[in-house]
Amino acid sequence: MSIRKQRLDARTVTRAQMNRTGSKLFYGYWVVGLAFLVLVVMWGVFYSFGVFFTPLLKEFGWTRAMTAGAFSLASIMSGLLAVAAGKLTDRYGPRLVLRLCGVLLCLGYVLMPRIQAVWQLYLFYGIVVGTGMAGAFVPLMSTVARWFTERRSTMTGIVTAGVGIGALTGPPVANRLIFAYGWRASYLVMGIVSLVFVLLCAHFMRRDPAQVGLVAYGEDAQEEGRLEVDGDSLSVTAAIRLKQFWMVFGMFFCLGFCVYGIMVHMAPHATEMGISAESAANILATVGGVSIFGKVLFGRAADGIGSRKTFMVGCILMGISLLWLLSGGTQWILFSFAGLFGLAYGGCVASQSPLVASLFGLHAHGLILGCLSLGFTSGGALGPFLTGYLFDLHGSYRIAFLVCAVLSFVGLVLTLTLPPEHRGRFAK
């Protein structure tokens, strides 16, 4: 059957589903929209940590490594518990997971204004907020993968664009709140807003099409391909035994190291270069804004050329952008870096969930994606801490950014050696 015929059949099947349920819009698109909104809110507040960084340093006099360590601990917690979140999503669906995580996220931010000592920063932000962030990626990505057989990468790209919107809007909003009300009141406001949005969106989420009497978009039109994927689906135990699993784990680790290291330290780096706090927040926002375009563009491209190739392109662009960052500290260089880095970051993130689905199938997709996301969050935990430590040691971010550039190309090498996505791919 030709690809064109499959797509026409997919549209026919989807129209039939909508007629059976009396809806004018396939419910999977509602799931995509809700997941998008959740990511906007959760990541918008989380990525604002870089804007709160300088006020915390000024008030408490902690070192950069010590302060960034709270963000690193939050990354570790979110990564470890994303495994449990993925398993719970496979079994119970995303609603329960999002409700629990939304409450914990709000609790952590509401407690932040009460900190007086560094151990409280690590407890409230590192542990409580980190636990809440466990529901900010894996449950949503796994849910979207179940709703779409065709257009899976495109829909994933649209949803992950929510992270970019969050990064675009979160830091400037946080900066304005801090300027007007101080950092303590700002955390309180952001915690309450995150709770309302997450709980509201979670109420309408569904784990898979069967819960509302539908099938995944394009599933009937691609029955032969679907059975092939289901037949190749692996349990998490079987997946962990494969070299492909650990190669993808390494790819995600390199990505997490670079992304979190930059998102936490870019604003302090910009202010060190004599750039205003408002412009520094806008540089962070540029990373998020351009990543939106990268996620949608690379997600659509991945439906045609495969997630592996789009991840490769993302690694190349990320490495180039980080080398460019080393060339100077002018405002023009920082903004142009942010644009290229955001494009690369968006492309890599949009490729993650579809790559896992194509390599290991959908049977335990949430749990496997959760385990592999631990690679991303482990890198994300080490990145901010090591970047801050290298600054404390050398008085400059130059060595730290060079380390990030090297890891970008390490990720590229791992992706190049990863077997292509196809049937019979499970080789030890």
Q: What digits encode the pLDDT tens for the residues 148-170?
A: 878 888 888 888 888 878 877 88
Average model confidence (pLDDT) across the chain: 83
For 355-372, the pLDDT digits (tens) are 888 888 877 888 888 889
Ordered by start, the domain boundaries in the chain are: 15-417
Helix, strand, coil distribution of the chain in percent, nearest 5? 85, 0, 15
User: Quick check: 250 pLDDT over 60?
Assistant: yes
Q: 259 to each of 315, 353, 403, how far by Cα in Å?
A: 11, 17, 12
> Which structure tokens are listed for 291?
């990543």
Class for the domain spanning 15-417: mainly alpha
Radius of gyration of the chain (CA): 21
Torsion angle of alpha carbons 254, 257, 263, 264, nearest 10°? -170
Distance between CA atoms of residues 195 and 42, nearest Å: 9
Distance between CA atoms of residues 324 and 232, nearest Å: 42
Arithmetic mean of pLDDT, 13-36: 69
> For position 130, what pLDDT does the model report?
92
Beta bridge partners of 148: 217
Q: What is the biggest distance separating any 2 CA atoms in the chain, rounded to whole angstroms?
A: 66
Residue 197: how many CB atoms within 10 A of its CB?
18
Arithmetic mean of pLDDT, 294-315: 87
Arithmetic mean of pLDDT, 23-50: 87
Q: 30 to each of 26, 59, 222, how far by Cα in Å?
A: 7, 44, 22
Three-state DSSP class for residue 331: helix
**Alpha helices (H) along 182-213:** 183-203
Torsion angles phi and psi, residue 94, rounded to 5 = -80, -20
Q: Which residue has the tokens 């190291």?
A: 257
Q: For the purposes of burial, counting CB atoms within 10 Å of the CB of 212, is it exposed (0-12), middle (13-18) or buried (19 or more)? A: middle
Torsion angles phi and psi, residue 424, rounded to 5 = 75, 25
Please report, rounded to a whole number, the percentage of residues in the chain having pLDDT higher than 90: 30
> For position 124, what pLDDT does the model report?
94
Please report, rounded to a whole number, the percentage of residues in the chain having pLDDT higher than 70: 89
User: Quick check: 9 pLDDT over 60?
Assistant: no
Torsion angle of alpha carbons 304, 307, 312, 313, nearest 10°? 50
Q: Which residue has the tokens 């495109």?
A: 154
For 89-148, the pLDDT digits (tens) are 888 888 899 999 999 999 999 999 999 999 999 999 999 999 999 888 888 888 888 888
Burial 389-405 (b: 16+ CB within 10 A, else e): bbbeeeeebeebbebbb
> For position 23, what pLDDT does the model report?
54
For 369-381, the pLDDT digits (tens) are 888 988 888 898 8
Distance between CA atoms of residues 3 and 397, nearest Å: 49
235 band by pLDDT with thresholds 50, 70 and 90:
confident
Three-state DSSP class for residue 306: coil
Distance between CA atoms of residues 372 and 138, nearest Å: 10
Instruction: Read off the amino acid at residue 238.
Output: A
